[in-house]
Amino acid sequence: MGILSSIGGWVSSAITVAKNIVKGAEYVLSTAASVVDALLQGRKIIYENDTPQSPPTETSKTNERPDIMGGENLNKSDIAELLSDIDDNRKKLSSIQNKNELEHRQIQLQIDIMELIVSASTFERFTNNINLHASNLNIHLQTIQNTAGLLDCVNRQRVAIKALMGTVNHLINVTGTDGTVRKLEGLDIDVRPDSISIYGAYKSFENTRTLLINEIESFSNSIQEQMNRIDTVRAAARNVPGQRTKVNSWLSDSVEPKLLDAKNSADKLKGELLVFPRLETNLRRELENIKQETI
């Protein structure tokens, strides 16, 4: 009975922690949803920058091209006009180059913002898995509690039945009614090997705990990747006139606080799992050696 009492004591101390883990997983889910909502606000910036390009300006045309190589139509006014056209065309070329560069930077900013938003789609998968594993952890713990309680009840009944059988058989012997009253013999009241296993339930509990920790770590790494993408978006916004303040305000006031909140909630949940009470080593070893409950 000692091993069942030890398991029962462990379960009692672990149930409260397991409930807090389920609540913590739900909070991680809510913080991740807030991050997605904050990121979706960046679509406004994308749409504002998605303006139609202005049509190309028409270049001035001259009615008659001056004959530079000829000499008859060449005069000072023609040369001055030609030099002026060259200067104007150079300015237009520079303006077009600057305009194309600005459009390129605007497009790059849009791409970086879209990548930042789309990359958050993995949050849903992480948080769903975190909630699933947290729920399964609680289920495995309840299974261990129910199994230990069931075995305790069965063992008590076995002791009572054996005592009853001994008493009845003794009375039959002392009263001399052996020929008329049949003794209680050949009754199978022992637990069959491997029919009920606490070891299997505890092993599933530990595996789920490990899966949950790994999923939380993956979620935290994903958040860090988002923070790195934010730096990329900020750098792109600095190269687009009029966008630096707007983008920085969106990231600093809305996105980053939500990301930090999500990361803190994940770190807190991981910390609770790392200090989650476990069965003592000798008790785990004893369960592994038994692998069936005939306690």
Count of other CB atoms within 10 angstroms of residue 233: 24
Tens digit of each residue's pLDDT (9 = 90 or more) over 226-241: 999 999 999 999 988 8
> Region 17-30: what's the mean pLDDT?
92
Mean pLDDT of the chain: 81
Written as six digits, the tokens of 5 are 């009492």
The per-residue pLDDT for 200 is 81
Quick: pLDDT tens for 44-65.
Answer: 887 775 554 444 444 444 444 4
Q: How buried is 143 (Cβ within 10 angstroms: 0-12 exposed, 13-18 middle, 19+ buried)?
A: middle
First-to-last CA distance in the chain? 7
Q: Where are the domains of the chain?
A: 2-39+121-290
Distance CA(179)–CA(187), nearest Å, equals 19
132-161 pLDDT tens trace:
999 999 998 888 888 888 878 888 888 888
32-41, 143-152, 160-169: least confident range: 143-152
pLDDT at 262: 94
Supply the pLDDT for residue 69.
45
Query: Is pLDDT above 50 for 278?
Result: yes
Residue 135 exposed, middle or buried by CB count within 10 Å (0-12, 13-18, 19+)? middle
Give me the pLDDT at residue 135, please. Answer: 92
- What's the CA gap between 223 and 116, in Å, rounded? 11
Query: What contacts 198, CB < 8 A, 6 or more positions away?
Result: 7, 144, 147, 148, 151, 287, 293
pTM value is 0.72
Look up residue 76 and give its amino acid: K
| DSSP for residue 31 | H
Give the pLDDT of residue 76: 61
Query: 251: which DSSP letter?
Result: I
8 A C-beta contact, residue 126 and residue 32: yes
Selected residue with higher pLDDT from 21 and 281:
21
